[in-house]
Amino acid sequence: MVSAGGHGGYSDADDAVDFRGNPVDKSKTGGWLGAGLILGTELAERVCVMGISMNLVTYLVGELHLSNAKSANVVTNFMGTLNLLAIVGGFLADAKLGRYLTIAVSATIAAIGVSLLTVDTVVPTMRPPPCGDPRGAQGHECVRASGGQLAFLYVALYVIAAGAGGLKANVSGFGSDQFDGRNPREERAMVFFFNRFYFCISLGSLFAVTVLVYVQDNVGRGWGYGVSAAAMALGVVVLVAGTSKYRYRRPAGSPLTVIGRVLWMAWKKRKLPTPANADELNGFHTAKVAHTDRLRCLDKAAIMDQVDLAASPAKQEQASASTMTQVEEVKMVLNLLPIWSTCILFWTIYSQMTTFSVEQAIPMDRRLNAGFEVPAGSLSVFLFLSILLFTSLNERLLVPLASRLTGRPQGLTSLQRVGTGLVFATVAMAVAALVEKMRRDAANGEPRVAISAFWLVPQFFLVGAGEAFAYVGQLEFFIREAPERMKSMSTGLFLVTLSMGFFLSSFLVFLVHTVTSGAWIRNNLDMGRLDLFYWMLAVLGVVNFIVFVMIARRHEYKPNTSVVVAPAGEEDNDAMKKEMDDVLVVKENTVGMDV
């Protein structure tokens, strides 16, 4: 999965300090030494999180004997919470702790969480007896995990979510802090940093869904999760080892604080009449953003009431109304929400690749040859390979071609990219429905299905292709359209989109399971109608795309803004200028890709 981490409110490059708080000696701090250690921490995080999330459903179904619907919701709730807590981690770093301390604490928490998960899978009493074990309370029947056993599992998972979320929100931004964007040499190095960053997360993800998943299924869960715990602990050690070598930025506040203040002041002053003339609003004559007539209710936050006018100069900062600039910036953020809402369903569809698609593969023929069987969770490797393939094709082939046809440097607009991703995701669900019907028809009530599991590859491939477009398009759109002083909100909006997508999946599974009395999503998929669930998502995808097009056609891009968000190309001298255009950094807003 791709997610983002970015800069929040931080001081300029000239204000960078060392670990003692003194102005940095750039010859002894930052650069590739500091950035390399940070890359090691990110690699550990990818191995940890992806090694758990992409194969967790097989543990829940196979060893804890949870239903398919329950298992899917455990996974999506875990991933939804992880991305939502990334917002909290970003806020803490922006407002108080700074990136380094937030990352160090978060990585430690994640390591503790994976260690707890390892204990949970190693201790026999933390899971029910195997199916067919006469020790079970119901004889040879499968016994579902008890409340206490599940409680310990949930504690472990949500400790991991808290730690990984805080790390995700800040690691790419802290890496970019090691380079001075005003220095041409370091600016070029920053481009290559994001090349390496993307390589590390891709390498970590591929290692997790191949080697670690195989270890979990064939050697033991304890060994597999133990490797993840060791990797995360090593990541903490690597990060702390470079404490004296990093460049640090002092926190300068979070945009969330400004947004919260404007909304609160608008509500507090909701009964006051809106001034007929905008020049009566606080800060009108010094505003950095022109006043607009949209969302006039928010203008009340900038009304100077009697309390504001009577405030002493010493209390003016706390007592005064919001400025018109702040109000207009909040309006700009709220104006992004209609497009934002139509992006949620993409991640709902994506989440099926970590849940039901893996469950489909369990009874299918996964043999590559007579001696090797591919783990069900490892089929997600095709998702990541598709992301890498279409990301490369997009920048090397599609963008130049579209640029010639449209006359725009970026080829497709950001919303056209998002729309393309939504189409891929919708088609993926239609294909998944057809494959599931074929799989179910071939089952004939047998525990093992003769049909090859590699029939599932197209749905992984299509969702990966969709992500290559939708991710870049969403992030480019949010970066481009966000207020200049709230660029980090682009990261926040993106992370909440991911989170809401996973939570929407949980809600839809619960709703379908309740309405159909469990007929669609059964413990035995051969007896259910998972294909109808996929068709439902495909129909929702069509409706969502129509709504998206209607909203996109009415959207007016913010003028005089040019942003391209895309992975840079190969590291060679001829590609240098190309890479500078493809940089993943927009001034002080840094976006990292977590596959």
The DSSP code sequence of 385-438 is HHHHHHHHHIIIIIHHHHHHHH--TTSS-HHHHHHHHHHHHHHHHHHHHHHHHH
d(CA 301, CA 299): 5
In this prediction, residue 436 carries a pLDDT of: 93
d(CA 111, CA 95): 24
What are the two backbone dihedrals, phi and then psi, of residue 444, each rounded to the nearest 5 degrees? 55, 35
d(CA 209, CA 380): 7
Paired tokens of 334: 């709220």
In this prediction, residue 585 carries a pLDDT of: 36
Q: Which residue has the tokens 């909440």?
A: 496
What ranges in 305-380 are assigned the alpha helix state H? Answer: 306-310, 316-319, 324-334, 337-351, 356-361
In this prediction, residue 580 carries a pLDDT of: 37
In this prediction, residue 559 carries a pLDDT of: 60
**Per-residue pLDDT tens listing for the chain (595 residues):** 544 444 444 444 457 887 787 887 777 888 888 889 999 998 999 999 999 998 999 999 988 999 889 999 999 999 999 999 988 888 888 888 888 999 999 999 999 999 999 999 999 888 888 876 544 444 447 788 889 899 999 999 999 999 999 898 888 888 888 888 777 787 777 767 776 777 788 888 899 999 999 999 889 889 999 999 999 999 999 999 999 889 888 887 778 888 888 999 889 888 888 877 877 777 777 777 788 878 888 888 888 776 666 665 555 555 567 888 888 888 888 888 999 999 999 999 999 999 999 989 888 888 887 778 888 889 989 998 988 888 888 778 887 888 888 777 767 888 988 999 999 999 999 999 999 999 888 876 666 667 888 999 999 999 999 998 888 888 788 877 877 767 666 677 788 899 999 999 999 999 999 999 888 988 888 888 999 999 999 999 999 999 999 999 888 777 654 444 444 444 444 433 333 333 333 333 333 334 3
In this prediction, residue 373 carries a pLDDT of: 85
Residue 570 CB neighbours (<10 A): 11
In this prediction, residue 15 carries a pLDDT of: 74
Helix (H) or strand (E) holding 214: helix 213-218
Q: Which amino acid is at 75?
A: V
Sorted by sequence, the CB contacts under 8 Å of residue 348 that are 6+ apart come out as 501, 502, 504, 505, 508, 537
pTM above 0.85, yes or no: no
Structural domains of the chain, with CATH: 13-134+141-252+335-590 (1.20.1250.20), 255-332 (no CATH)
Helix (H) or strand (E) holding 530: helix 530-554
- Report whether 330 contacts 270 (CB < 8 A): no
How far are the Cα atoms of 55, 59, 374 from residue 358, in angstroms, in the given order?
8, 11, 12
d(CA 92, CA 107): 15
Question: What end-to-end distance do the CA atoms of the chain give, in Å?
Answer: 4
**What Rg value do the Cα atoms of the chain yield, rounded?**
25
